Amino acid sequence: MTEKLDSIIDDYLHNEGNLVSILQKLQDEFNYIPQEAVQYVSRSLEIPVSKFYGIATFYAQFHLKPRGKNIFTLCCGTACHVKGSEKLIARLQQETGLTTSDNTTSDGLITIEKVACVGACSIAPVAIVNKKVHGKANINHLLRMVKSMKEGTNE
């Protein structure tokens, strides 16, 4: 882990980096922002941890808790909203027992996240499942995906 962190620090020092770009790289690396990683970078650069967390909690993109193996990202843009994204999210959360704040299953299998808008409004409602964009998302299709993930037979 320290090797990767050192290379991120190196990049910061040599390529006009800033705290946002460090956090983005941490998240690319670990899929979330691990506390130990922030502490390590903070000590190395002599920048207070609070500075990092001030930024990490400001931007929606940063995740402070580990995310699941499978990530459902539900778009909450206006077009998706009028096309029923609220119902999709409620039903998916109901199925997985998750909420907006507690959004990853305890076994780390599934995370359900919301995103403000992915800009694919003409195919609303949109769900991104493991980085693949699904337009005109249908609840039965999403529920089937959840089921096969639980059964370990990913589509």
Residues that bind other proteins (CB under 8 A): 17-21, 23-24, 54-55, 58-62, 76-79, 81-83, 87, 90-91, 94-95, 115-124, 126, 133-135, 139
Whichever of 69 and 91 has its CB closer to other proteins, that residue is: 91
CB of 101 to other proteins, least distance (A): 13
Whichever of 51 and 108 has its CB closer to other proteins, that residue is: 51
User: How many angstroms separate the CA atoms of 46 and 113, rounded?
Assistant: 33
Q: Identity (one letter) of the amino acid at 21? A: S
Whichever of 35 and 138 has its CB closer to other proteins, that residue is: 138
CB of 137 to other proteins, least distance (A): 10
User: Which H or E run contains 139?
Assistant: helix 139-150
80 near 121, Cβ under 8 Å? yes
**151: exposed, middle or buried (C-beta count within 10 Å: 0-12, 13-18, 19+)?**
exposed
CB of 57 to other proteins, least distance (A): 9
Q: In Å, what is the CA distance from 124 to each residue of 54, 66, 113, 116?
A: 33, 28, 17, 13
Q: Identity (one letter) of the amino acid at 120? A: A
CB of 19 to other proteins, least distance (A): 5
Whichever of 69 and 134 has its CB closer to other proteins, that residue is: 134
CB of 124 to other proteins, least distance (A): 6
Whichever of 1 and 60 has its CB closer to other proteins, that residue is: 60
User: How many angstroms separate the CA atoms of 18 and 46, rounded?
Assistant: 13
